[in-house]
Amino acid sequence: MKKAIEIKGITKEYKDFTLGEVHAEIPCGFATALIGANGAGKTTLIDILCGVTGKTSGEAEYFGSMTDIDDDSLRNRIGYCSSANFFPMDWTLKTIANSMELGFDNFDRARFAELCKRFKLGDPAAKKQKKLMKLSDGNKMRTYLAAVLARDTELLVLDEPASSLDPLARDLLCDMFREYLSERDGERSVLFSTHNIADMEFATDHAIFMAHGQVIEQGFVEDLKQKYILVHGDGMIADKAKPLMLSFTGNKTSFEGIALAENAEMLRTYDTAIETPTLQQLSVGILRKAEENAEK
């Protein structure tokens, strides 16, 4: 399968945190979610991939051939934005358009105006402009999204785009992802990070799970849903089921967690309820398992 990015052993050393080695793939033509708790290293990884932060070692291969993020032809193909303070706070829609137009070769003013209208942000060509600092967090994020989507790119990389958005705006964001992917069928990809996948489930094709600076699981969502099962059971049989489960929480009334699908038959004999997990349930299970391992 074609890859938008192949991450080959990237590491980053800080005084108090180490990322990697990260080996992962961002498939081309799909939306990939980078899922992990706060402090898992999602932002560091995204920043490295977009040339915002330097890496200590390793390499990333973009679009099957390019490896130098300082190459402008690569930077132009990637549409990146962070969630907090992406632009100086005294900037307006107009300043953003002026700056973006020079900062990238593919910024389209007309499209920016159209997206601003769609996101109800105002008119970037209007005389009277509102400074970013006067906007709510949600509208700031919408502004960043309008700016990055106004560029004709092949890969969107968004750091926590949904966290400050209200439910309606999240729905719109999911629509924007699908529209972006569909506009050039199979040639465009999306990578976004989130610590809460619940509202983004139906816009996620591929998932990469991170904890403590490491990738702990990755794959296409449909495949992961076949690999893992969601298990519920009565507290009475918890002791018997626990060794077969990957993550486990419970009390004397009931327990739940995820397990590998290959253990489904065995767990069924203990009279447990077995279901296909949602991506949200899967995330909780996988991340909880990582926490349990870290505590050991």
Cβ 212 to other proteins, closest distance in Å? Answer: 21
Q: Which of 62, 87, 192, 209 binds other proteins (CB under 8 A)?
A: 87
Question: Site for other proteins (CB under 8 A): which residue of 67, 85, 196, 293?
Answer: 85
Q: Choose the binding region for other proteins from 16-24, 87-95, 116-124, 262-270 (rule: CB under 8 A).
A: 87-95
Find the length of the chain: 296
Looking only at residues 158 through 197 of this chain, which bind other proteins when binding is defined by CB under 8 A? 174-175, 178-179, 181-182, 185-186
Selection from 180, 177, 188 nearest residue 33 by Cα? 177
Residue range at the interface with other proteins (CB under 8 A); choices 23-31, 109-117, 230-238, 260-268: 23-31
Q: Give the Cα separation of 21 and 8 in Å (integer).
A: 8
The residues, any chain, with a CB within 8 Å of residue 169's CB and separated by 6 or more, are: 138, 141, 142
**Does the footprint of other proteins cover residue 98 (CB under 8 A)?**
yes
Q: Can you spell out the DSSP letters for 123-147?
A: -TT-SS---GGGS-HHHHHHHHHHH
57 counts as binding other proteins under rule CB under 8 A: no
- Looking at residue 109, the DSSP 8-state letter turns out to be H
Q: Which of residues 110-169 bind other proteins (CB under 8 A)?
A: none
Q: What does the block give as tokens for 152?
A: 């004709």
Concatenate the DSSP letters of all residues of 73-85 into one string.
Answer: HHHTTEEEE-SS-
Size of the site for other proteins (CB under 8 A): 54
In the set 4, 34, 47, 156, which binds other proteins (CB under 8 A)?
Answer: 47
Distance in Å, CB of 95 to other proteins, minimum:
4
Residue number, 6 or 101, with CB nearest to other proteins: 101
CB of 296 to other proteins, least distance (A): 33
**Minimum separation from the CB atom of position 237 to other proteins (A):** 23
Nearest residue (CB) to other proteins, 50 versus 113: 50
> Residue 198: how many CA atoms within 13 Å on its side-chain side?
5
User: What is the C-alpha to C-alpha distance for residues 152 and 104, in angstroms, rounded to an integer?
Assistant: 10
Query: Which residue in 211, 255, 266 sits closest to 233, CA to CA?
Result: 255
Q: Of these, 73, 251, 253, 269, which contacts other proteins (CB under 8 A)?
A: 73
User: Using CB under 8 A, which residues numbered 198 to 227 contact other proteins?
Assistant: 201-206, 220-222, 225
Of 226-285, binders to other proteins (CB under 8 A) are 275-276
Which CB sits closer to other proteins, 73 or 253?
73
Buried b or exposed e, range 193-231, using 16+ CB within 10 angstroms: bbbebebbbebbbbbbbbbbbbbbbbebbeebbeebbbb
Contact 31, 189 (CB under 8 A): yes
Q: How far is CA 41 from CA 72, 108, 181, in A?
A: 26, 32, 26
Q: Which of 8, 75, 130, 195 forms a contact with other proteins (CB under 8 A)?
A: 75
Q: How far is the CB of 135 from other proteins (least distance, A)?
A: 13
Cα separation values, 237 from 213, 231, 240, 269, Å: 35, 12, 5, 11
Per CB under 8 A, residues contacting other proteins are 29-31, 47, 50-54, 68, 70-73, 75-76, 78, 80-82, 85-89, 91, 95-96, 98-99, 102-105, 174-175, 178-179, 181-182, 185-186, 201-206, 220-222, 225, 275-276
